[in-house]
Amino acid sequence: MATKRISIALLSIFLTLTAFAASKDLEKDITMVSYEQGWLDYNGTLALKNNTNKEIKNVVFLITYLDMSGKELDYEEFSKSVSIAPGMTKKLDIPAYEHNRNYHYYKSKNSITGTPAFKIKFKLKDYSVEEGSEDSIDGVSYGKYDYESSTDYDGITFTIAFILLFVIGITVGLYVLVAVMAQNRNRSVVVWLLLSFIATPLLMIFILLVIGNNNNYNGNHYDRK
């Protein structure tokens, strides 16, 4: 008797879940309202609308990335923990597409001419699935805190690298300027570069501006005064 009751209970649960699954319309229940991703953004912002009369807690969806001619470039499947009230729209972030190559969504306003543009296609795979503590991308799970920390770290690393390259470029440019100024003033490029290393190129530039041309240069040697 007990076994029969358990079987009936399990059958009821199965039928309930089946009926719920059958009531889902993955084409209409959740739709994408908008998407934003500028050329410097680390995340894209997706706005999803709940078109049902019940609250939706979790969504699984597929994003297909397209070039401006409509050709498929890539795709990613996302599982996001989110709560969307009936009839309401909720924004959520996903990793930016090709951030390192400065791609931007073609409708985004905060982009510059010349950076690659793309379109996206949204497809709902499932919703109100079992809630997890982690988001997944292409089947690989990422803790939310760890992923955001990694994103911040990447941003700091990029900034430091950019500053270092800028400083190195300015420094090399100053030495080149010293060499050009020395040559134009009929003075030894090697000597003035060595002096720049001993002192600073800025000081040598100032001195070269003050002393002017070497009028004693005869074409074979430099004045050594």
CB 131 within 8 A of CB 58: yes
Q: What confidence tens digit (pLDDT) does each residue in 119-156 have? A: 999 999 999 865 544 444 444 444 444 444 555 556 68
Q: DSSP letter for 24, please.
A: -
123 to 8, 55, 68, 93, 112: CA distances (angstroms): 36, 19, 19, 16, 28
Q: Would you say 185 and 208 are in contact if contact means Cβ atoms under 8 Å apart? A: yes
Q: Is 30 left (phi over 0), alpha (psi -120 to 50) or beta?
A: beta
How many secondary structure helices (H) and strands (E) does the chain include? 4, 9
Cα gap 153→172, rounded to integer Å: 29
pTM across the whole model: 0.48
Residues 17-38 pLDDT 10s: 555 555 788 889 999 999 999 9
Per-residue pLDDT of the chain (225 residues; tens, 9 = 90+): 545 455 555 555 555 555 555 578 888 999 999 999 998 899 999 999 999 999 998 899 999 999 999 999 999 999 998 999 999 999 999 999 998 898 999 998 766 777 899 999 999 999 986 554 444 444 444 444 444 455 555 668 888 988 999 999 999 999 999 899 988 988 889 998 999 899 889 998 999 888 888 776 655 554 444
